[in-house]
Amino acid sequence: MSKRNLIIIAAVGFAIGIFLYFSKSVSLKTIFQGKASKPPASQSSEHQGHATESGQQQPQTQAQEAPQEQQEPPTIEIPPDKQQLIGVKTVAVSVKPLQKIIRTVGRIEYDERRLATVNTKFEGWIEKLYIDYTGKYVKKGEPLAEIYSPELFATQQEFINVIKWAKQGKEIKNERMSGLLSKDADAIIEAAKQRLKLWDITEAQVKKIEETGKPVRTLTVYSPVNGYIVQKTALQGMRIMPGEKLFDVADLSTVWVISDIYEYELSLIKTGQTANISLSYFPGKEFSSTIDYVYPTLAGETRTAKVRFTISNPGGQLKPQMFTTVEIKINIGNKLAVPEDAVIDTGTRQIVYVDKGEGYFEPREVILGIRAEGLREVTMGLKAGEKVASSATFLIDSEAKLKNVAPLGGHKH
């Protein structure tokens, strides 16, 4: 191909390219101008929507609220033949006398008011021991031990010397001098007697010393009460100090029963309430007692408080640390109640199914009170005379969940 032809072809191609470029620019400009001159349909409809919404917003809200005020409680239909098949039973809600029975365990303990300890107020040594083992029964006034005390012996000797001095003073012929000496001697004798009595020397022992004119080498220690020796620290020949405990004596004619009551039951417990106490040691036998005392503290580990009973133990058959079963019956009074099986407890609320008749049941939320022997007190949500399902409630509840039937918010009064 010649050079001249190539130049012609290139010129023609360049002209065609310029033509196509300018024609495309003009068409795009026309399109954009057309779009700008027309408002978008969506924008127009949006403005119309706002206008309609602003003009009709309040009436629509009122129209929506009206049906809510007239909303009927939801119900679930269970035909009578199906009720009979699943065992549905209903019971009327009524006011009944409720009785709460608290069952707990107890332990027999010593009656602390009948415990006594034996000690001395002087230093000495045990020369003779009458009680040589723990658990022995002693009577009041029975000798327990004989104690030698140099200090006590010296005091007795002083007492005897004062008595002799008083007798010698009475033999003086001078009445005035005799009277003064006798008066002083009587005061000293009385002071010596009081000193011996403060050391727990009995009146009979003091009188014996006064009559015989001889000091008693050992002092006999006697039991202050009838009972059992429950602790013994005294040993033959042992040295004792003032206030040191020698024996503990427990009178078991009456004993305490200490029971634990859970924290949530404490509001029902009061002194004077009657309880039946039984032991496996006595099959078929019950002891009746009343609550003497409710202890003021709570055990943090078990969340229980202690209550105390007192029972007689004439034969000594009840022994400390025996376990007992305690049953406390508490009359709560007349309360609106339903059977415990009628309540579905979800953990966050309690629901009953109210029989509306013709096979319809209404799920209703209630507020419950005390639980008492198969019954639950109803404080809110039901009224006397209404009927509730008392059996097969879980089946009714399952059916209600399948059909998405739930109780209305709040409580119906």
**Those residues with Cβ within 8 angstroms of residue 344's Cβ, 6 or more apart along the chain or in another chain:** 350, 351, 352, 353, 393, 394, 397
The CATH fold assigned to 76-97+334-402 is 2.40.420
Phi and psi (nearest 5°) for 68?
A: -65, -40
CA 185 to chain centroid, in Å, comes to 66
Instruction: Return the closest-CA partner of residue 191 out of 179, 205, 206.
Output: 206
Q: Would strands 286-299 and 218-222 be described as parallel, antiparallel, or unpaired?
A: unpaired
**Those residues with Cβ within 8 angstroms of residue 76's Cβ, 6 or more apart along the chain or in another chain:** 353, 360, 361, 363, 396, 399, 400, 403, 405
Query: Which pLDDT value is given to residue 46?
Result: 42
Beta bridge partners of 403: none
CA 321 to chain centroid, in Å, comes to 22
CA torsion angle for 332, 334, 338, 344 (degrees, to 10)?
A: -40
**Those residues with Cβ within 8 angstroms of residue 193's Cβ, 6 or more apart along the chain or in another chain:** 159, 206
User: Are the C-beta atoms of 131 and 145 separated by less than 8 Å?
Assistant: yes
Instruction: Return the closest-CA partner of residue 109 out of 325, 315, 309, 294.
Output: 309
Question: Which tens digits make up the pLDDT trace of 79-107?
Answer: 888 888 889 999 999 998 998 899 999 99
Instruction: Return the closest-CA partner of residue 363 out of 355, 375, 373.
Output: 355
Please state, in angstroms and as integers, the Cα–Cα distance from residue 171 to each residue in 115, 157, 186, 187, following that order. 51, 22, 15, 18
First to last CA, the chain: 108
Query: Which pLDDT value is given to residue 14?
Result: 67
Comparing 132-141, 157-166, 273-282, which segment has the lowest mean pLDDT? 157-166
* pLDDT (mean) for 217-245: 93
Say yes or no to pLDDT of 294 above 50: yes
Beta bridge partners of 295: none
* Three-class secondary structure of residue 26 per DSSP: helix
Q: How confident is the model at residue 158 (pLDDT cuts 50, 70, 90)?
A: confident
23 or 245, which is more confident?
A: 245
Say yes or no to pLDDT of 240 above 90: yes
Question: Which tens digits make up the pLDDT trace of 310-357?
Answer: 999 988 889 999 999 999 999 888 999 999 999 998 888 899 999 998
Instruction: Return the closest-CA partner of residue 313 out of 227, 254, 249.
Output: 254
Domain 116-249 has CATH 2.60.120.10: no
Query: Which pLDDT value is given to residue 239?
Result: 94
Say yes or no to pLDDT of 69 above 60: no
- In the numeric block, the tokens 């609320």 are attached to 349
Domain 104-111+252-333 has CATH 3.30.300.30: no
**Those residues with Cβ within 8 angstroms of residue 41's Cβ, 6 or more apart along the chain or in another chain:** none
Query: Which pLDDT value is given to residue 190?
Result: 83
Question: Which tens digits make up the pLDDT trace of 142-152?
Answer: 999 999 999 88
Say yes or no to pLDDT of 238 above 60: yes
Say yes or no to pLDDT of 65 above 50: no
Q: Where are the domains of the chain?
A: 3-52, 76-97+334-402, 104-111+252-333, 116-249
Q: How confident is the model at residue 21 (pLDDT cuts 50, 70, 90)?
A: low
